[in-house]
Copies of this chain bind each other. A is one copy, B any other.
Amino acid sequence: MKLKQLAVSAVIAVAALTATGIALGDAGSGEASPIYGVKLPDGYRQWALIAPAQEAEPLNELRAVLGNDLAIKAYQDSTLPFPDGAVLVKLAWKHVQSPEFEPASIPGAATTVQVMVKDSSKYAATGGWGFGRFINGKPADEAQHQTCFACHQARVQNHDFVFTRFAQ
């Protein structure tokens, strides 16, 4: 390859990585969840927002669901089922009063980070999704992971087992 071609190719390659959002390191790090072997994805805190939510007592949480670029693109294109490689991460915090603005409540202490990874082969028995629930970066126990799919299956099977819709 000539150097001029190399220059052009290099720019295109980097630009493509940026544009299509192939997130290097989606595989994750740290301890894997029981049953599914799902890890916290690297860099997930920088992912785009799908939607916030609130969960009532007793959990009393503010939440936000983020998605990797494959997941965001699927939402934008209304692609269902989600493609393999799509990853959703739900962050949750205790819901506390703002000390600075009376009508507002804001995130307090972080509670859980919950991950869904789409791999239609690996997770064929659970709708193509693997689940991970993390507390302080450590996966919750097996009993907690046994509850994930049943609830998603019972309530949102018609949306590829995903509760959250994209907040326009």
Seen from chain A, the residues whose Cβ lies within 8 Å of a Cβ on chain B are 2-4, 6-7, 10-11, 14-15, 18, 45-49, 51-57, 59, 62-64, 66, 72, 91, 93, 95, 98, 100-101, 103-107, 110, 155-156, 163-165, 167-168
Contact = CB atoms under 8 A, between A and B. Distances in A.
A101 B56 CA distance: 11
A66 B52 CA distance: 12
Contact of A103 (B55, B98, B105, B155): B55
Chain A facing B: main interface SS: mixed
A86 to B, nearest CB: 16
A107 B163 contact: no
B7 A105 contact: no
Question: Which among A2, A14, A49, A63 has the greatest number of chain B C-beta atoms within 10 A?
Answer: A49
